[in-house]
Structure 1
Amino acid sequence: MRQLLLDLIAEKPQTLANFEAGKNAELYQLLCRLAAHPEDSRERFVYLWGRAGAGKTHLLRSLAVLPHARYIDAASAAEACCYDPAIRIYLLDDCEQLSPQAQIAAFNLFNEVREHGALMITGGAVPPAVLPVREDLRTRLGWGLIYQVHELSDEEKIAALSQAAATRGLAVSPGVLPYLITHFERDMRSLSAMLDALDRYSLETQRPITLPLLRDLLQLEDDTKP
């Protein structure tokens, strides 16, 4: 069961189209504009911050599919934070996890991006002013626009999942979605994958999507955890 969920999550690419904006409408519109016309942006630097599961990585990976874009995670930053004239959009994630060597590389990349007019969008768990990084890099991360990425409320998650179920013609009993969001992973990608798994499990067992079916599925998921 757990492998099925992992496969379903992997099947769902992180795109701007499947990001539930919620309270992040202004940020979402900005990133849509940057995706459509990155060369027209007057902003060279954007920093996204928020708690785990809010959607920072989703947004950065959504932009990584653009031509001439490079996604950089903290683990690879020491090597990947190097300027390349062919890359116009740099997407640096998990800034709070940057190693000392990676911080030097990121600082140098900021300067190159500024000099050559490229675009750099970064993400971290906290605002740049309190990031546990060297002072010169902290200052660079504070350049440009700063957005907090707000996690969806439980009501917004239920509404989004209900809409997804309705679009697919799934009959989901009352109580299923409220129970799901309080007894499973909190991010929308995992929740959407569980909705897909419920659909498959319902078809396999010839049972309606009810709370007992969800509980059985969650128990199967727990039983197959390593």
Structure 2
Amino acid sequence: MRQLPLDFEPMAPAGLTQFIAQGNEEVLAWLMAWPDSAQPGTPTYLWGPQGCGKTHLLRGLASQALGAGWHVLWLGRQGFQSWDAPQEQAGTLVLMDDCESLDAPQQHWAFNLFIENAAATAQHEAAGGQGPSTMAIVAAGRVPPVDLPVRDDLRTRLGWGLVFALQALGEEGVKLVLEQECKRRGVRLAEGVLPYLLTHFSRDLGFLMDLLERLDRFALAEQRLVTVPLLKQMLAQETE
């Protein structure tokens, strides 16, 4: 008889301080210093291959902004999500993820947010630069802005500000991320599991983190330590 684990998230999402920066120190430093590092009205765009940590960085920045009293709006291929700040008049951080996958209505929403950002910046400047700008935009995608398959006016706006190119982690960096995630989740891995993951599967962090989550839930249901045989058993059952 298998035990079904309850659908609980494993603690708080990983933040900026948990990001393994190897090769991406500049962008991490900029995000850690936000909003002081940002220019009012100037968007920021992060790009890099799948699994290099773009979504992790956006989520970490969302947590940082909420802690600083900002509203946060998230736009991605699955739609909108928003979190309100205690003060209604607080600034708004707009985060756009998977920009290459935005459909036509989402591209329209994104463009309108850029228009709103421009209006907020103009109002800020008209007030002599007093007080914080009321909106900031940070976006991410797999390709440079110029190569994004989106409408021309949105592509131009995504690319005219600050652009950071993210580097994919090497094997040691990926191993550190997985070890860190296991610690965060309280997952105990038997010796040999991490080397097996790194030699038999893609080093795409998104894929590996999803695999680790499934393995964690499967181990809880089976009430067993995470081992290579358990991993093989899970994968076999998933393909049945």
Q: TM-score, normalised by structure 1?
A: 0.72
Structure 1 stretches of 4+ with a deviation exceeding 6 A read 163-168, 194-201
Matched, 1:143 2:142: no
Q: How does 1:61-72 map to 2 (within 5 A)?
A: 61-65=59-63, 66=66, 67-72=70-75
Amino acid at match of 1:58: H
- The two structures, once aligned, show a CA RMSD in angstroms of 3.7
Looking at structure 1, the residues matched to 195 and 94 of structure 2 have their Cα atoms a distance apart, in angstroms, of: 38
Which residue does the alignment assign to 2:92?
88
Other-structure match for 1:126: 143
Show the counterpart of 1:183: 200
Q: How high is the sequence identity, in percent, across the aligned residues?
A: 37
How many equivalent pairs are there? 207
Deviation at 1:102, TM superposition (A): 2.0
Distance change in 2, residues 1:189/1:28 (3 Å): farther
Residues 28-70 of structure 1: CA deviation (Å, up to 9, x unaligned): 1111111xxx266326311011222111111112222323122
Separation of aligned partners in 1, 2:189 and 2:108:
53
When residues 137 and 164 of structure 1 are mapped into structure 2, their CA distance, relative to the original with a 3 A threshold, is: closer
Distance 1:192 1:49 in 2: 25
Aligned to 2:114, the other structure's residue is in SS state: helix
Aligned counterparts of 1:223 and 1:171: Cα–Cα separation in 2? 19
Contact kept? 2:196, 2:228, Cα under 8 Å: no
Equivalent position amino acid for 2:71 in 1: H
Contact 2:20/2:176, CA 8 A, preserved across alignment: no
Measured after TM superposition, the shift of residue 129 of structure 1 is 0.2
**Residue number in structure 1 paired with 2:21:** 21
Q: What is the match of residue 42 of structure 1?
A: 39
Change (3 A) 1:171 1:127: closer
Q: TM-score, normalised by structure 2?
A: 0.69
* Structure 1: runs of 5 or more not aligned: 208-212
